[in-house]
Amino acid sequence: MKAKENSYRKQIEEVETILSKIENGETDIDDLASEIKKASQLLQQCKDKLFRTEQEVEQIMANNDL
C-alpha cells in the first residue's frame, strides 16, 4: 500500500510543481499548453484513485456493517 500512497503523493507534488512554475513565470510559453495538459492528466489520475479508494472503503464498511 505504501507504493500507492507515494504514487498519489508524487502525482500531487508534480502538479504543484507545474503550477508553481506557471505562476512564477518559469514556464516557457512554448511549453505552457503541454504542462497544463500534463497537470490535467495527473489530476484526473488522482481523482480516479480517490474514487476507487472511496468505493473500496464503502464496500469494506458495508461488509463489516460499520
- Looking at residue 64, its pLDDT comes to 87
pLDDT tens figures, 28-57: 999 999 999 999 999 999 999 999 999 999
Can you give the pTM of this predicted structure? 0.79
Q: Residues 29-62, buried b or exposed e (16+ Cβ, 10 A)? A: eeeeeebeeebeebeeebeeeeeeeeeeeeeeee
Average pLDDT over the chain, rounded to an integer = 92
